[in-house]
């Protein structure tokens, strides 16, 4: 097979297909009725927190079972368990260290509950569902890259930075010529079309800022 001609890193223009007069345009892909069910956020497996908690529980349970077995075999209990039992017997419930330990334990428990009840994977934006068996997503960095490339196509834009979250796309552009209001209007129009073309289930709101370059360029 012959290799396509052209230098690496260049973009070739695709041929334009003209439609005959009177022909009907191609239908857009349908969206099935249960689209909302497949537009849910992606859930993270959270292997690292689950692995850390499992290892800690395994180590603590193994150490405690070993000490209990040693006591049952008429051997003295470990010093740490004797000291812990002695401290718990002598210290009142309103002691500072008891309250600190209880607060840390409660914070860890709330953190684990939050991890269990929230989806995670905030960097993946769910896309509109076109089929009940397909659950697609777009990474926020990829969406920001697409919006930045479209912003650079606007006349007068020297540079652009885009930060995308689940709810908003923050665009900051630098314009070296043309009126700032005209550049901002063109950016809002072009980027609104770009956001709609991403196919996201919940398109982020646009916030466009345009300024002149600084003294250093």
In 3D, which of 159, 163, 157 has the Cα closest to residue 186?
A: 157
The arithmetic mean of pLDDT across residues 144-158, rounded, is 94
pLDDT value at 195 more than 60: yes
The backbone torsions φ and ψ at residue 174, rounded to the nearest 5 degrees and listed phi first, read -115, 125
pTM of the model: 0.60
Spatial CB neighbours of 97, under 8 Å, sequence gap ≥ 6 = 91
pLDDT class of 39 with cuts at 50, 70, 90: low
Per the prediction, the chain carries an average pLDDT of 80
89-141 confidence digits (pLDDT tens): 888 888 888 899 889 989 988 988 888 788 778 888 888 887 777 778 899 99
């Amino acid at each position: 097979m012959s290799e396509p001609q052209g230098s690496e890193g260049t973009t070739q223009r695709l041929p334009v297909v003209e439609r005959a007069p009177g022909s009907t345009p191609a239908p857009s892909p349908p969206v099935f009725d249960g689209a909302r069910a497949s537009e849910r956020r992606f859930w993270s497996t959270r292997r690292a927190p689950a692995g850390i908690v499992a290892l800690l529980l395994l180590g603590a349970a193994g150490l405690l079972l070993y000490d209990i077995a040693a006591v049952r075999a008429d051997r003295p209990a470990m010093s740490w368990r004797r000291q812990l039992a002695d401290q718990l017997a002598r210290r009142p419930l309103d002691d500072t260290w008891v309250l600190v330990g209880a607060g840390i334990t409660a914070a860890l428990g709330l953190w684990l509950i939050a991890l269990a009840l929230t989806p995670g994977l905030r960097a993946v934006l769910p896309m509109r569902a076109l089929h009940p068996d397909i659950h697609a997503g777009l990474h926020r960095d990829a969406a920001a890259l697409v919006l930045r490339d479209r912003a650079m196509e606007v006349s007068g834009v020297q540079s652009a930075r885009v930060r995308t979250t689940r709810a908003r796309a923050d665009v900051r552009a630098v314009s070296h010529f043309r009126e700032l209001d005209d550049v901002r209007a063109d950016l809002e129009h072009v980027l609104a079309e770009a956001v709609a073309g991403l196919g996201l289930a919940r398109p982020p709101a646009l916030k466009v800022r345009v300024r002149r370059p600084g003294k250093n360029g």
